[in-house]
């Protein structure tokens, strides 16, 4: 088992609905540790750069608009197999397909506003963490 870091982002709908503490309890009860966390309001440019992989998809503009609609909480999680473990905790991207007991299964209503983002690979985790955090911020 490898100790890994992964990025977690609690999206504007999670912050607006005041469920960030509940989401954090899912993370912490899974034996992942939050080692860095900050609230921020993404600029349009930041959202476009962060989600650049989706720039040619039909939902890109809607995604950027949503991600800049309110504050987000970005976090770095650490633990054994953190990337895959957090993806399991989040549940399927479409909340209708997410199992109960997952963040999306318990809290999300819509695929476009599904409460959380998590890195999908170790390589992307490194890139995404560096996008939001300096190494000195990772305790």
Question: What are the sequence ranges of the domains in the chain?
Answer: 3-134
Q: How confident is the model at residue 14 (pLDDT cuts 50, 70, 90)?
A: very high
Q: Would the pLDDT of 139 be above 90?
A: no
Fold of 3-134: Alpha-Beta Plaits (3.30.70)
SS3 17: coil
- Residue 6 assigned as binding residue: no
- Residue 114 assigned as binding residue: yes
Alpha-carbon gap, residue 57 to 32, rounded angstroms? 32
Residue of 5, 85, 115, 117 with catalytic role: 117
Of the candidates 50, 82, 86, the residue with the CA atom closest to the CA atom of residue 68: 50
pLDDT of 31 reads 93
Q: Would the pLDDT of 138 be above 90?
A: yes
pLDDT tens digits, residue range 72-112? 999 999 999 999 999 999 999 999 999 999 999 999 999 98
Q: How confident is the model at residue 1 (pLDDT cuts 50, 70, 90)?
A: confident
Alpha-carbon gap, residue 35 to 75, rounded angstroms? 7
- Residue 5 assigned as binding residue: no
CB-CB contact of 63 with 51 (8 Å): yes
Any catalytic annotation for residue 117? Answer: yes
pLDDT tens digits, residue range 19-73? 999 999 999 999 999 999 999 999 999 999 999 999 999 999 999 999 999 999 9
- Residue 59 assigned as binding residue: yes
Please state, as a whole number, how many other Cβ atoms lie within 10 Å of the Cβ of residue 137: 13
């Amino acid at each position: 088992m490898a100790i890994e870091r992964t990025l977690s982002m609690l999206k504007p709908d999670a912050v607006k609905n005041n469920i960030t503490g509940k989401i954090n309890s899912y993370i912490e009860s899974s034996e992942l540790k939050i080692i860095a966390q900050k609230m921020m309001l993404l600029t349009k440019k930041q959202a476009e750069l962060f989600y650049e992989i989706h720039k040619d998809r039909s939902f890109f503009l809607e995604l950027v608009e949503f991600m800049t609609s309110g504050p987000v909480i970005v976090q770095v999680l650490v633990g054994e197999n953190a990337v895959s473990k957090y993806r399991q905790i989040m549940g399927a991207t479409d909340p209708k397909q997410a199992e109960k007991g997952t963040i999306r299964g318990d809290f999300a209503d819509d695929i476009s506003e599904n409460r959380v983002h998590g890195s999908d690979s170790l390589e992307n985790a490194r890139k995404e963490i560096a996008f939001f955090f300096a190494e000195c911020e990772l305790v």
